Amino acid sequence: MDPITNPYAPGAGNQPPELAGRDDILERTRTTLARVQAGRFAKSFMLVGLRGVGKTVLLNKIEDIAEENKYIATIVETPENKSLPDMLVPCLRRILIRLDTKEKVNVAAKHGMGVLKSFVGAFKVKVGDIEFGVDVPSTRGTADSGDLDNDLPELFEAVGVAARNRQRAVAIIIDELQYVAENEFSALIMAMHRISQKQLPIILIGAGLPPLVGLAGRSKSYAERLFDYPRVDALESRHARVALAEPALRENVKFHRDAVDRIFSLTHGYP
């Protein structure tokens, strides 16, 4: 195998040369995004599976699909030692900045940024060891109570109103969701419940290890009505063969059938 033209590059979240066997999830993504853009209800969803099956690869692909469809999309990974407010505030700020274009003053986006500043002040959000700053006056009385169950829904609503005002839709994509604390996960579910009730154009797509399903259920009983949990698993034989053989064929190399059979028997389709 020529080390320069070798098409295989396994790693943590690296895009494979052939994304096989995930068409159902990608089709679901396109349908969900289209429904949200049309102002119709669509369930957010969280990909669930073991490490190494390609959840992060799919989230990166979903971000690309969202941006291709004129969404404002942001992807963030949940670290083990960071609070949900610390994680969300920088990405929500990026979203609001993109909504507040210089072509036209956007009152809703400005209001959203003020709500974000109130939220930052209430939760003392930090990036590293430095308290996060927002360069607008805070909006007093909104998202500043210090109660995450109350404040996060108000913040999401302000972002959703700003997006609707711009006739845009927002995709918030979060990896490693199993690291979110249970009480914070509850607030995230409540925020998406508010978005659903107000029919605002925000969709949440996440991924995590199998305990994520139990975490969501413990956090809020109505989570199952707001979210689906598509399983990302090992590839079926036919898809595994495509993932293995197609990249080689593009380099004018062909696997013997018995070699492909042997590889599948050893890996059981684990990507």
**% of the chain with per-residue pLDDT over 90:** 69
Residue 129 has pLDDT above 70, yes or no: no
The full DSSP string for 166-189 is: TT--EEEEEE-GGGS-HHHHHHHH
What angle do the packed helices 182-198 and 148-165 form, to 10 degrees? 40
Q: What is the mean pLDDT of the chain?
A: 90
User: Residue 216 above 80 pLDDT?
Assistant: yes
pLDDT, one tens digit per residue, over 170-195 is 999 999 999 999 999 999 999 999 99
pLDDT at 5: 87
pLDDT band at 14 (very low <50, low <70, confident <90, very high): confident
Q: Which of 224, 271, 236 is nearest to 46 (CA)?
A: 224
Nearest to 178 by CA among 78, 67, 34, 35: 78
Q: Which domains does the chain have, with CATH numbers?
A: 45-228 (3.40.50.300), 237-267 (no CATH)
In the predicted model, what is the mean pLDDT of residues 157-161?
A: 96
pLDDT at 219: 78
pTM of the full structure: 0.89
Look at strands 72-77 and 44-48 and give their pairing: unpaired
Which pLDDT belongs to residue 36? 96
Cα 101 off chain centre by? 24
Q: Please give, one letter per residue, the 3-state secondary structure of 187-234.
A: HHHHHHHHHHHHCCCEEEEEEECCHHHHHHHHHCCCHHHHEECCECCC
